[in-house]
Amino acid sequence: MNHSLKPWNTFGINRNANNIVCAESAQSLLKAWQQATQNQQPVLILGEGSNVLFLDDFSGTVIVNRIMGIEVTEDEDAWHLHVGAGENWHKLVQFTLDHDMPGLENLALIPGCAGSSPIQNIGAYGIEVKSVCEYVDCVELATGTAKRLSAQACQFGYRDSIFKHEYQDRYVIVAIGLRLVKRWQPVLSYGDLTRLDPLTVSPREVFDTVCHMRISKLPDPKVNGNAGSFFKNPVITQAKAEQLLVEWPNAPHYPQADGSVKLAAGWLIDRCQLKGTTVGGAAVHQHQALVLINENQATSDDVVQLAHLVRQRVGEAFDIWLEPEVRFIGQSGEVNAVEVIS
């Protein structure tokens, strides 16, 4: 238990694992998984650890997925990218812009690896990975069988996919396929992007604006450990949204295709005046209430208690119960985050 997980999670939580293996190919990843399984040890596969909270020491092997490589092909309508799961997501976004292949700029500065992007169906500023995903390549851990899932087969939902359910412990993602259409259309529906002119804006301007918004609002994990947005934006019924808007007509709300309405979790937390609230070494970030930070050598218990406090306050004020977006990892694997903070 003397392998520190602190460098392997952006929260900077000081927990240990029995063993840590960096895998640079699907073969080495499978080998590490099979070895641990034969020794009857739990296994956790990590990208950059940017969306996890370690609740305990991990009593098995942590495999860090570092399968690299970006291959590009093109046809008349689109560029097709085949991206190794271990590639850094933001560097991938920069790569596409540097090679005049726009389409990912709204997703700039999202922490983590390419291989993690379909698990969460990452999204920001009006775009989700599902809108550009062509396929996901994965390997069945028990058999080593390779499988390519179409975007439809990934069952993408809001911060959700098949990789959080049926495929969670059985498959590992080794690569993703992205399709970026050549007829680029900017998505300017959120924040400072609404001020840009859709007729003249360039992909680079969208990228720069997104980076500015994220840097000005979000803490640098190298300074204050964090896992980005801690809670999902809640999705409520239209009837409930109408009730809320009677009392709070300025509440940010985003009607969804199925008739439901998405709210801004950060706004709800902010209305409860929780910015700057601390429990032990954990704090609600001063500038972005959606982010919980490791302000001063926080323990995972500090973070859990703070998340519980935030959930209770918002629930009592609005009868809306927030759910963590961050994955909670116990001694032998992922646990139900809502149950932990309830």
- Is-catalytic flag, 325? yes
| Residue among 229, 295, 313, 327 flagged as catalytic | 229
Measured between alpha carbons, how far is 133 from 178 in angstroms, rounded to an integer? 5
Closest among 42, 28, 131 to 85, alpha carbons compared: 28
Measured between alpha carbons, how far is 186 from 99 in angstroms, rounded to an integer? 17
Residue bearing tokens 């609230």 = 277
Measured between alpha carbons, how far is 96 from 74 in angstroms, rounded to an integer? 13
Q: In what helix (H) or strand (E) does residue 92 lie, and over which residues does it extend?
A: helix 89-98
- Is-catalytic flag, 229? yes
| Residue among 50, 117, 325, 327 flagged as catalytic | 325
Residue bearing tokens 């495999």 = 63
Residue bearing tokens 């028990």 = 142
Closest among 338, 292, 320 to 13, alpha carbons compared: 292
Measured between alpha carbons, how far is 47 from 29 in angstroms, rounded to an integer? 12
Query: Which backbone phi and psi does 64 adopt, to 5 degrees?
Result: -95, 115
| Residue among 15, 159, 214, 313 flagged as catalytic | 159
By annotation, the residues acting in catalysis are: 159, 229, 325
